[in-house]
Amino acid sequence: MCEHDADRAIVDAGGQYCRMHALLVWTIIDNEMRESGMSTPNSRMQEELAAQKAEERKAAAEEKRNRQDYVYYLRVGAHFKIGFASNLEQRLASYPPDTELLAVEVGTLQLETERHREFKHSRIAGREWYRPNPALDHHIRIVAENKRHTWWEESEWRRKTERVKVVPHNWQ
């Protein structure tokens, strides 16, 4: 074949090729199988594994979309924010000190998305920031008055979130 000796592992497997020519033959066969739609057992396993991982990612995304966490309403300066968090304490710690927590409701990412659509007419930046308007003011007031945030015991919450001012439901 060529001036190189046949590779011992290839000879033991029944071939008479040096490593370079064995790889060349493998590449040719692999390309022909791919072009003809044939697959090797290894490629079938890879396809099955990829499909399984895609299914797991889809299930995880669906679980996250439907998980009951918190939809929160903040006032930062003159603007409102509608956000979603699993760990509200940690999330609120990332806002500036003059942030006011106006209301919280137990909800899902889907609920947050619905709120964004509901108030899209007053959106100002990104998809979560809004200018004040009567409809949003009313909604926040209703959420706060209904105490949908029953997990929120004010004195404990204030102690844990010194950076964020908690505004009682008569917040205006």
**pTM, to two decimals:** 0.57
Measured from the Cβ of residue 39, the count of other Cβ atoms closer than 10 Å reads 13
Beta strand 69-76 pairing with 100-107: antiparallel
Chain segment 53-112, per-residue pLDDT in tens: 999 999 888 887 777 888 999 998 889 999 999 888 888 888 887 888 888 888 888 899
> What residues are paired with 73 via a beta bridge?
82, 103
- Would you state the pLDDT for residue 60? 84
- Distance separating alpha carbons of residues 159 and 138, to the nearest angstrom: 28
- Distance separating alpha carbons of residues 85 and 63, to the nearest angstrom: 14
Amino acid at 137: D
- Distance separating alpha carbons of residues 155 and 145, to the nearest angstrom: 18
Among 171, 84, 96, CA closest to 128: 84
Q: What is the mean pLDDT of residues 107-130?
A: 91
Confidence band, pLDDT 50/70/90 cuts, at residue 40:
low
Find the range with the poorest average confidence among 3-12, 35-44, 104-113. 35-44
Chain-centroid distance, C-alpha 109: 10
